């Protein structure tokens, strides 16, 4: 049975010292969490300084991110230390993009837009607000994702991005989008082996770059890569 995800949670690795934040890898965090006796890394993805997304725990399994609400949450962890340095512009960009993809994947976009105070996208420390509302059992003393990470500003960025996205002119179907991706890959590969002329390939590129095709493949890759 698939988990029902209700919130996307942002974390910091809290990894750094002497005013310097470190570009923590998913492998490092996996090791720390195993040393703590966990089965593997607790977060679903890790976002490095350059914006690269590294996979963590398979989101179909229950993560270990915020005590008491793990069953219904998805967790992004940013390399570095949010009390020492803000997220890099690449981390912010990548984090916003991935959060939007997960809001869409888990059918949370409408709720996020309609409930501005709903903490559908939240920082780890904001679990304390959920505790006040009776929606989570366990408060935290952590500043996670860090004093220099402004969750209100991040939610605003995500909201603006979502509102300015053109309405989809297709129906998203993950299986079909995967077939589109795989099919195009096969066509490109066959075209190369058949040594088709440049103009023919240009026509194929033109199809690949149509906004709908681009959006479908982008979303499929975000969700499945």
Interface residue list for Zn ion (CB under 5 A): 11, 124, 144
| Helix, strand or coil, per DSSP, at residue 81 | coil
Q: What's the closest the beta carbon of residue 27 comes to Zn ion, in angstroms? A: 18
Task: Report how far residue 197's alpha carbon sits from residue 201's, in angstroms, rounded to the nearest whole number.
Answer: 7
Q: What's the closest the beta carbon of residue 145 comes to Zn ion, in angstroms? A: 6
User: Which CB sits closer to Zn ion, 154 or 216?
Assistant: 154
Q: In what order do the strands lie in the sheet with 73-78?
A: 53-55, 45-47, 73-78, 7-12, 121-123
The CA-based angle 59-65-71, given to 5 degrees, is 55
Q: What's the closest the beta carbon of residue 139 comes to Zn ion, in angstroms? A: 13
Copy the structure tokens of residue 28. 């490092």
Task: Report how far residue 166's alpha carbon sits from residue 168's, in angstroms, rounded to the nearest whole number.
Answer: 6
Q: What's the closest the beta carbon of residue 9 comes to Zn ion, in angstroms? A: 7
Q: What's the closest the beta carbon of residue 77 comes to Zn ion, in angstroms? A: 7
Q: What's the closest the beta carbon of residue 123 comes to Zn ion, in angstroms? A: 8
43 contact partners, CB below 8 Å, separation of at least 6: 11, 29, 56, 57, 63, 65, 75, 76, 77
User: Which CB sits closer to Zn ion, 65 or 177?
Assistant: 65
User: Which CB sits closer to Zn ion, 78 or 112?
Assistant: 78
User: Which CB sits closer to Zn ion, 139 or 178?
Assistant: 139
| Helix, strand or coil, per DSSP, at residue 121 | strand
Instruction: With CA atoms as reference, report the closest residue to 220 among 185, 187, 180.
Output: 180
User: Which CB sits closer to Zn ion, 109 or 143?
Assistant: 143
User: Which CB sits closer to Zn ion, 108 or 144?
Assistant: 144
Copy the structure tokens of residue 109. 């976009």
User: Which CB sits closer to Zn ion, 105 or 125?
Assistant: 125
Tokens 């179907």 correspond to what residue? 173
Helices (H), 2-61: 26-35
Q: What's the closest the beta carbon of residue 12 comes to Zn ion, in angstroms? A: 7
Phi-psi region of 119 (alpha: psi -120 to 50; beta: other; left: phi over 0): left
């Amino acid at each position: 049975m698939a988990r029902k995800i209700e919130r996307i949670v942002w974390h910091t690795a809290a990894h750094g010292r002497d005013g310097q934040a470190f570009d923590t890898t998913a492998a490092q965090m996996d090791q720390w969490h195993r040393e703590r006796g966990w089965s593997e890394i607790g977060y679903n993805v890790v976002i490095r300084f350059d914006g690269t997304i590294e996979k963590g725990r398979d989101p179909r399994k229950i993560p270990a991110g915020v005590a008491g609400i793990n069953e219904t949450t998805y967790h992004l962890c940013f390399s570095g230390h949010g009390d020492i340095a803000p997220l890099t512009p690449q981390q912010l960009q990548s984090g916003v993009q991935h959060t939007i993809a997960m809001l869409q994947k888990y059918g949370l976009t409408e709720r996020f837009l309609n409930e501005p105070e709903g903490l559908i996208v939240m920082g780890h420390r904001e679990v304390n607000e959920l505790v006040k509302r009776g929606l989570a059992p366990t408060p935290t003393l952590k500043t996670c994702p860090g004093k220099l990470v402004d969750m209100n500003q991040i939610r605003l960025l995500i909201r603006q991005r979502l509102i300015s996205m053109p309405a989809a002119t297709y129906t998203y179907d993950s299986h079909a989008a995967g077939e589109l991706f795989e099919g195009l890959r096969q066509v490109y590969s066959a075209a190369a082996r058949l040594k088709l002329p440049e103009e023919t390939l240009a026509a194929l590129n033109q199809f690949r770059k149509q906004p709908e095709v681009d959006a479908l493949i982008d979303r499929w890759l975000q969700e499945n890569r």
